Chains A and B, each alone.
Chain A
Amino acid sequence: MTLALYVLDVPEFEPFVRTAEAAGLTVRRLGDHLELSTAEDEFVLHREGTGIRTALWHAALTGGLHGRIVTFTSDTLHLAKETA
């Protein structure tokens, strides 16, 4: 299955969606949410320089994750496809 995360389509998450899109994730609407997906096995996003507020960054997976977390720090979000 494709590695994907879901973000509620509300203004405060726009910087996160823009950052993810610029880093190569595909964005499509899925009801109230935006699905950010990639065909790659892994995906890394860095917060520095993106303008994403700390509280928002740490809440960025609130919409859901289809995959697993490799690393999630205050600057790095590293996700990977589920190995199972």
Chain B
Amino acid sequence: MATASPSARPGAGLPGSRVDGVDHLAFVTWKPRATVDFYTRTLGMPLLHAITATGWVTEDYPDFVHFFFDMGAGNRIAFFYYFGLPEEDAPSDLMHRSRHLAFHVDTEEELLAWRDRLKARGVRVTPPLAHELIESIYFDDPNGIQLEITRPLRPMSDVDARDAELTVRALADVVEGPSPSIEALWQRKAELVRKAAAEGTDR
């Protein structure tokens, strides 16, 4: 099986051709004390930076505090606290599960150690769940943001990227068609798989 990383693409080093990972990912909190405690103590992410400002961005922009934690690998997670902003309703269960942030660990041992650590600190955390290529545990931060810690079950390879290309092409085709469904996607995918095999473009 080919194991070359799909990220190793020609031209990846040219200026303006590719960004380099996540600088920061920003959320809004209404619980600053619990948030700082959770990210620094429970998740062990050092506080890196905090800025405070009047709401200068637009006329109705609230005064704010913006603070950053170190997620590792040069990545940061940031929160805004806005003064006087009414707290938003919780998202639906589906949106809560869908809009999540997954942290990476390399091994099963690390994944299980994180589960133990979270449980020891009173965090409700799921048992490990094995998906196709990853195995994950899930839990919420104090803001109700779903977090995940995941480990790879195998490296992603070129064959995965080629298959993904056909899947997203099938998706785009069926959502523009008269009756989008997962069945329609799978039927379109079969056509594309057969076509790719006939043309020899799938390997």
| Interface residue ranges, A against B (CB under 8 Å) | 4-6, 8-12, 30-33, 53, 55-56, 59, 61-69
| Interface residue ranges, B against A (CB under 8 Å) | 1, 129-133, 153-154, 157, 159-160, 162-163, 166-167, 170, 182-183, 186-194, 196-197, 200, 202-203
Minimal beta-carbon separation of A1 from chain B (angstroms) = 10
Q: Considering the chains assembled together, what is the distance between the CA atoms of A10 and B154 in angstroms?
A: 10
Q: Is the CB of A12 within 8 A of B202?
A: no
Q: Is the CB of B160 within 8 A of A10?
A: yes
Q: Considering the chains assembled together, what is the distance between the CA atoms of A61 and B182 in angstroms?
A: 9
Contacts of B192 in A (CB 8 A): 64
Q: Considering the chains assembled together, what is the distance between the CA atoms of A33 and B202 in angstroms?
A: 9
Q: Is the CB of B189 within 8 A of A4?
A: no
Q: Is the CB of A63 within 8 A of B130?
A: no
Contacts A12-B153, A55-B132 given; 5 further ones with Cβ under 8 A?
Answer: A30-B194, A31-B193, A32-B196, A32-B203, A62-B189
Please name the residue on chain B nearest to A69 by beta carbon. Answer: B183
A11-B154, A64-B187 known; A56 vs B132 contact (CB < 8 Å):
yes
A53-B130, A65-B187 known; A9 vs B159 contact (CB < 8 Å):
yes
A12-B153, A55-B132 known; A64 vs B1 contact (CB < 8 Å):
no
Question: Considering residues A8, A55, A69, which has the most beta carbons from chain B within 10 angstroms of its beta carbon?
Answer: A8
Contacts of A12 in B (CB 8 A): 132-133, 153-154
Minimal beta-carbon separation of A37 from chain B (angstroms) = 11
Q: Considering the chains assembled together, what is the distance between the CA atoms of A56 and B132 in angstroms?
A: 6
Minimal beta-carbon separation of A54 from chain B (angstroms) = 9
Q: Considering the chains assembled together, what is the distance between the CA atoms of A53 and B131 in angstroms?
A: 8
Q: Is the CB of B130 within 8 A of A30?
A: no
